[in-house]
Amino acid sequence: MYKSLIRPLLFKFDPEEIHHFTFSFFKNFGFLAKLFLPKPIEDQRLEREVFGLKFKNPVGLAAGFDKDAKLFKELSGLGFGFIEIGTLTPKPQPGNDKKRLFRLKEDSAIINRMGFNNGGVDEAIERLKKNKNVLIGGNIGKNKVTPNEEAVNDYKICFEKLFPYVDYFVVNVSSPNTPNLRELQDKKPLTELLSTLQNLNFEKPKPKPILLKIAPDLTDEQLLDIIDIVKETQIAGVIATNTTLSRENLTSENKSEMGGLSGKPLTKRSTEVIRFLSEKSGKAFPIIGVGGIHSAQDALEKLEAGASLVQLYTGFIYEGPELINKINKAILKQKI
């Protein structure tokens, strides 16, 4: 029903405007939506324990969809095993100028240059205080106006404020839409940033998992550096991958837009990164696989490549909520 009736209607409108409309609809009329959506699969065989947390199933929602923690309860009700909010920054910021979100229908992809638009960490916390049983990841970043040499302070602020309200953290230094942010992926600044957050973490009575989200555009040498950094800083794991700057083999008219590309064109590369990290590290840390998951087979390939969990974003938009059940059914069938 989603692909034949709902998606064609939604795709007639501007993607950012319809995103906000959908959020409002679910917030106010979510009970109606449930009448037309498949019932989520609940099966103990889907449960996973990863970095000390228990996930009811291995399919999560990636950061960027529910930036401000406005719909985590309703989205969890669709069958997601966990919800990652953000990217959140210490201060509210509008993000980049519109238009900044583009569909590439022929490529089953999206290009975004949102620029960490969010209401700030304090606003999100007020909503998270109402959370009862949704497993939440907190994706954190720096404000656009904060220079890189002071970025660690922004991450520290978000970490300290969010700590009581999220189950794990994700350090985002891989978005291509904040000027110079990806420079923080270099070995020295990244090690310093993660070490600082881990020191804060270890001061807590019960530390929480910290993960690093990386770009798919890193070279093999840079990926080996990532492995060294994860081991040195003792963070819990890696999310592979964020959006790409590559525009290889695209056919859509929006292919030249600036920003990060997500969706099917990223499927192969993100799986390659997962496999590289898993094999070269000797499976030393868990990996959450994300990037171009548009089918159950795409998810299985990432799990077989070494991912412990997977996340959806663009595939969720193109394929609809049914994709969650399809993946979980396939996992049960394959007994992964």
Instruction: Look at residue 43 in the predicted model and tell me its pLDDT.
Output: 97
**Strand stretches in the chain, DSSP E:** 48-50, 53-55, 59-61, 82-88, 101-104, 109-112, 136-140, 168-172, 210-214, 237-240, 260-263, 287-290, 309-312
Return the exposure string of 7-29: e unless at least 16 CB atoms fall within 10 Å of the residue's CB, then b. eeebeeeebbebeeebbeebeee
Q: What is the pTM of this model?
A: 0.97
φ/ψ of residue 276, rounded to 5: -60, -50
141, 86 contact by CB (below 8 A): yes
For the chain, domain boundaries: 41-334
Q: In whole angstroms, what is the distance from residue 175 CA to residue 123 CA?
A: 22
Q: What is the DSSP string of 247-285?
A: -TT--STTTT-SSEEEEGGGHHHHHHHHHHHHHHHTS-S
Instruction: Look at residue 29 in the predicted model and tell me its pLDDT.
Output: 84
Please list the ranges in the chain whose pLDDT falls under 50: none
**CATH code, 41-334:** 3.20.20.70
Instruction: Look at residue 270 in the predicted model and tell me its pLDDT.
Output: 98
94, 245 contact by CB (below 8 A): no
Instruction: Look at residue 324 in the predicted model and tell me its pLDDT.
Output: 98
Q: Among 108, 175, 270, 308, which one carries the catalytic annotation? A: 175
- 335: tokens are 């007994």
308 in catalytic set: no
